[in-house]
Structure 1
Amino acid sequence: MPPWLTPARTRADVTNRAEGASDTFVWGYAIRREWPDGAHDLFGFTPRADVALRRLDRDRGYWRTGPVRPTAVYLVAVNAADVAAHPVRGCRRSSCPDAPQRGQR
């Protein structure tokens, strides 16, 4: 095999999650929930769009009839590392992902 096609050169460790690759390079979707006080939640990472849409529908349905409701619930494009490092509740950082597509802010 040519040396430029070996796993070390193609970075197979980055693309194959089963072998313990870093979450830094894994992109997918997460749910962002905005609250009236300006805080937000970021959770539910998945690399699959269909799973993300089901989770979004379920979350919106849960909050639809409650007495306390978020101001917005939507999907954002995000990498797994951002979701893993995100505070559990009460985040107000403006640097958190808030766009439905990668690269937008």
Structure 2
Amino acid sequence: MTSDAYKFGYAIRREWPSGEHDLFGFTPDADIAQRHLDRDQGYWQSGPVRPAAVFVVAVNARDVERHPVGGCRQSWCPNVPERGQR
């Protein structure tokens, strides 16, 4: 484990109506995180299946690295939207 694993940044949290969530797209740059968010929201906007919510959360790289790939229900996952989101 390198010191980069504890690097602070942002990720996208996608919540599903089933109560599961995804956490992905770590970046140390808030502007890049916003672009990831815009792209993800655009992708799901016209589909028949849509997430209940998609937002940017403050995380460290390890939070994202350790996160399960399939839907997750862990209570320890970052779940507070980053302030100042559009």
Q: TM-score, normalised by structure 1?
A: 0.74
Select the structure with the greater relative contact order (CA < 8 A; seq sep ≥ 6).
Answer: 2
Percent identity (aligned):
67
Structure 1: gaps spanning 5 or more residues: 1-19
CA distance in 2, matches of 1:87, 1:70: 17
CA distance in 2, matches of 1:51, 1:39: 25
Structure 2: gaps spanning 5 or more residues: none
> Does the alignment pair 1:22 with 2:3?
yes
CA shift for structure 1 position 88:
0.1
Q: How many residues align?
A: 82
> Partner residue of 1:35?
16
> Does the alignment pair 1:79 with 2:60?
yes
| C-alpha RMSD over aligned residues | 1.4
Q: Which amino acid aligns with 1:25?
A: Y
**Alignment map for 1:85-96 (pairs within 5 Å):** 85-96=66-77
CA distance in 1, matches of 2:36, 2:74: 24
Q: Which runs of 4 or more aligned residues in structure 1 lie more than 3 Å from their structure 2 counterparts after TM superposition? A: none
Is the radius of gyration larger for structure 1 or structure 2?
1
Select the residue among 42, 46, 51 that pairs with 1:65: 46
- Structure with the larger helix share: 1
Mean Cα deviation higher: 92-101 or 47-56: 92-101
Q: Which amino acid aligns with 2:13?
A: R
Q: TM-score, normalised by structure 2?
A: 0.89
CA distance in 1, matches of 2:6, 2:71: 26
